[in-house]
Structure 1
Amino acid sequence: MENRAGIFISQPLGYKTFKPKPLPPDPPIFYDSEMIDLLSRADRMLGRLDGVTETLPDPELFVAMYVQKEAVLSSQIEGTQASLVDVFDGDQSREKKEDIGDIVNYVGAMNYGLERLKEFPLSLRLLREIHRVLLFSGRGSKRSPGEFRTSQNWIGAPGCTLNEATFVPPSVPDMNEAMGALELFMHKESNLPPLIKIALIHAQFETIHPFLDGNGRKGRLLITFWLCQQRILSQPLLYISYFFKQNRQEYYDRLMTVRKTGDWEQWVKFFLKGVAETSEEAISTAKEILSLKKVCEDMMVKSNNNNRRLLNLIFESPVIDKQLVADKLDISQPTANRIVDQFCDLGILVDQKPESKRYKKYAFAKYLAILSRGTEIN
């Protein structure tokens, strides 16, 4: 049956692929009062979030932390079992090593894409480049990173066949055609509000599923890249994967409903709600971090240059050891030992292995608690 989103096409082997219609939807998105209210709130909260960067003492540091949080959350949606604490702690256990590798690749892909966007437009070529970084190593690295698929893929329970799939994306020819149309839509001038446009772009990308692996993570990266390219965001502070993770089943259901019934409106409303809630959460997090920094500074009555530098370091690396402190601050080992012990006495750092005398690590526990909220493994 044909709808606003596209049509299902029967294939000779019995399964049906989906051929999406080019964006924007026809008939156009309908703006009821709920849609208008959600759009207004999302715009307002996203604007406030972007304004937070002007109040931060070290914007680059905070941006790096937010990118890592988005990387963890987006990867968890795909099933990784590593938390933000695991990433900072450098857990190298066999069961966590691959998961942490996926997160590191995600951070690399985000940073690579943002840097490339300074000189290169968001295009199919750039999407492939970023995908190559995303799947550089570990799981998915053998599944044609950086190349659009040349065979049929499908979505469903682990081990299911094409005929048992929940959803079968477009055939390869239809996929190539749809990606070309999506690229045109991304750059075409329109009267669509930017947040509604990126909601459509994200859903269409996930429906097309142009890669053999990494489509979910790549599609969520696309949200940040497009918002930054359009200067809706000056920094990648929106970790919308937090909302998608908290509402994972609804996220999948809304996307599937678009394909089956063409109900773009409910998907867009869900997306706008996510932007607003995630922005509000990020603003609250930034305020908590700023407050914590002030409290820590006030605790250091006899503050000196090394104390201040260590405080800045643990906001960058919340789990440290004494050798790292000596190396990063370029100070002697006895000096590093002394100031780390001082931070422990003040309660700023917590000895993670108080019973051990070797391989000791120290955590900025209060900072980690704020930053890792929502990334815990359930």
Structure 2
Amino acid sequence: MEALGFALREEAVLNTLTEDVLKSSEIEGEVLDKDQVRSSIARRLGMDIGALAPVDRNVEGVVEMMLDATQHYDRPLNVERLYGWHAALFPTGRSGITKIVVGAWRDGAAGPMQVVSGPIGRERIHFEAPEAERLDAEMNAFLQWFEAKSNIDPVIKSAIAHLWFVTIHPFEDGNGRIARAIADMALARSEQSTQRFYSMSAQIRFERNAYYDRLEATQKGDLDITKWLAWFLACLDRAFMGADTILASVMVKAKFWEKHDVNVLNPRQRMMLTRLLDGFEGKLTSSKWASIAKCSQDTASRDIDDLIKRNILVKDGSGGRSTSYSLISE
């Protein structure tokens, strides 16, 4: 990574942070809009990525939490900071349509905090968290340990912090995402850097079933967390290997813009080509071009035809309404 120029390193960091936010939410079954996440991160980090997509406030909250954890890793983790993260995750005070306690520890009003699965009437209880009355003491102990100087390897500390926080389960919702943010904060502290080129959350999303199985087995067992630590470290190692994929996508983008003169393209074309290079979801049609670029169908068709003549885009399909377009492979 040291061989990368500043602009490419910045691009790689943006890609990594985008993956972190998207995949940490996907682990919990929540799918965020990639363009919104990327735009929100770029704006907050002062990166110029062209036209920025309008961003939903729920996306803003997730991004705000993740960036606070990784970009300000050297600031103390305390109760108020965790309350702020939780409030950012649930700006409406609701999880879906359910009203929840936001910006504070859960109370006992809804009964025991249980992690369950299965249909109503046949639920399977995977884990029951400590009672609400114990949360102040439990979280004070956790935060004192997290901030204390110790001889624990900082990567091991990240693994323990992840498990410990999610086991306390101090909030009504959002505990998994906050646990992963805390783990990322500990990893950033271990590296003494705000720049990372791997995504632990993306790797956990890929191994989600094993992740939940290992958490459940550890939480239901005795106090031996050796198998959890072994799994976490192995998962982290696989995340390191995934950094090659992030770097490859950055290099493809850099080579593309080296080959094609950006000055002969109009702003709409530059924006749409950037979308394609960043991993456009679905097929690109002239209708989608017109909608995203906020132009007429005729203008979209002219933009696309010009890129075909320049050997940048190629037509897919048999024509008509089903016609789509993709980048010509280098």
**TM-score scaled by length of structure 1:** 0.63
SS of residue in 2 equivalent to 1:166: strand
- The residue that corresponds to 2:21 in the other structure is 71
Q: How does 1:343-362 map to 2 (within 5 A)?
A: 343-345=307-309, 346-348=311-313, 355-356=320-321
> Retained in 2: the 8 A contact 1:71–1:106?
yes
Residues 364 and 214 from structure 1, CA distance in 2 versus in 1: closer, same or farther, beyond 3 angstroms? Answer: farther
- The residue that corresponds to 1:143 in the other structure is 100
Alpha-carbon deviations, 1:292-349, whole Å to 9, x = none? Answer: 4314532x2xx2525497278445695783586589xxxxx99987655433453458
- The residue that corresponds to 2:12 in the other structure is 62
The one-letter code sitting in structure 1 at the alignment partner of 2:157 is K
Of 233, 238, 245, which residue of structure 2 is paired with 1:277? 238
SS of residue in 2 equivalent to 1:148: coil
- The whole-number CA distance in structure 2 between the counterparts of 1:86 and 1:363 is 22
- The residue that corresponds to 2:81 in the other structure is 126
- The whole-number CA distance in structure 1 between the counterparts of 2:318 and 2:141 is 56
SS of residue in 1 equivalent to 2:213: helix
Of 274, 291, 294, which residue of structure 1 is paired with 2:252? 291
- The residue that corresponds to 2:289 in the other structure is 321
- The residue that corresponds to 1:261 in the other structure is 222
Residues 168 and 87 from structure 1, CA distance in 2 versus in 1: closer, same or farther, beyond 3 angstroms? Answer: same
What is the aligned residue count? 295
Of 168, 176, 189, which residue of structure 2 is paired with 1:216? 176
Residues 341 and 134 from structure 1, CA distance in 2 versus in 1: closer, same or farther, beyond 3 angstroms? Answer: farther
- The whole-number CA distance in structure 2 between the counterparts of 1:185 and 1:57 is 38
Cα RMSD (Å): 4.2
Q: CA deviation at 1:136?
A: 2.0
Residues 291 and 313 from structure 1, CA distance in 2 versus in 1: closer, same or farther, beyond 3 angstroms? Answer: closer
SS of residue in 2 equivalent to 1:156: strand
- The whole-number CA distance in structure 1 between the counterparts of 2:328 and 2:278 is 13
Residues 324 and 246 from structure 1, CA distance in 2 versus in 1: closer, same or farther, beyond 3 angstroms? Answer: closer
- The residue that corresponds to 1:171 in the other structure is 131
The one-letter code sitting in structure 2 at the alignment partner of 1:321 is W
Q: CA deviation at 1:365?
A: 9.5
Alpha-carbon deviations, 1:325-378, whole Å to 9, x = none? Answer: 589xxxxx9998765543345345878997459xx9977698xxxxxxxxxxxx
Q: CA deviation at 1:169?
A: 0.5
The one-letter code sitting in structure 2 at the alignment partner of 1:180 is N
Q: CA deviation at 1:251?
A: 1.4
Alpha-carbon deviations, 1:108-129, whole Å to 9, x = none? Answer: 43234445x2784222221221
- The residue that corresponds to 1:109 in the other structure is 65
- The whole-number CA distance in structure 2 between the counterparts of 1:119 and 1:58 is 25
SS of residue in 2 equivalent to 1:268: helix
Q: CA deviation at 1:142?
A: 2.7
> Retained in 1: the 8 A contact 2:16–2:246?
no
- The whole-number CA distance in structure 2 between the counterparts of 1:80 and 1:53 is 36
In the alignment, structure 1 segments of 5+ residues that lack a partner are: 1-50, 89-99, 328-332, 367-378
- The whole-number CA distance in structure 1 between the counterparts of 2:318 and 2:12 is 28
Alpha-carbon deviations, 1:245-293, whole Å to 9, x = none? Answer: 2322321222223231223111111111111111211233212431343
The one-letter code sitting in structure 2 at the alignment partner of 1:72 is L
**TM-score scaled by length of structure 2:** 0.71
Residues 155 and 308 from structure 1, CA distance in 2 versus in 1: closer, same or farther, beyond 3 angstroms? Answer: same
SS of residue in 2 equivalent to 1:224: helix
- The whole-number CA distance in structure 2 between the counterparts of 1:255 and 1:82 is 25
The one-letter code sitting in structure 2 at the alignment partner of 1:220 is R
- The whole-number CA distance in structure 2 between the counterparts of 1:109 and 1:187 is 19
The one-letter code sitting in structure 2 at the alignment partner of 1:146 is G
> Retained in 2: the 8 A contact 1:72–1:84?
yes
Q: CA deviation at 1:229?
A: 4.0
- The whole-number CA distance in structure 2 between the counterparts of 1:250 and 1:132 is 29
- The residue that corresponds to 1:3 in the other structure is none
Q: CA deviation at 1:73?
A: 1.7
> Retained in 2: the 8 A contact 1:169–1:207?
yes
SS of residue in 1 equivalent to 2:26: helix
- The whole-number CA distance in structure 2 between the counterparts of 1:225 and 1:254 is 22
The one-letter code sitting in structure 2 at the alignment partner of 1:214 is G
- The whole-number CA distance in structure 2 between the counterparts of 1:267 and 1:247 is 14
- The whole-number CA distance in structure 2 between the counterparts of 1:227 and 1:306 is 43
Identity of aligned residues (%): 23
Of 153, 173, 196, which residue of structure 2 is paired with 1:193? 153
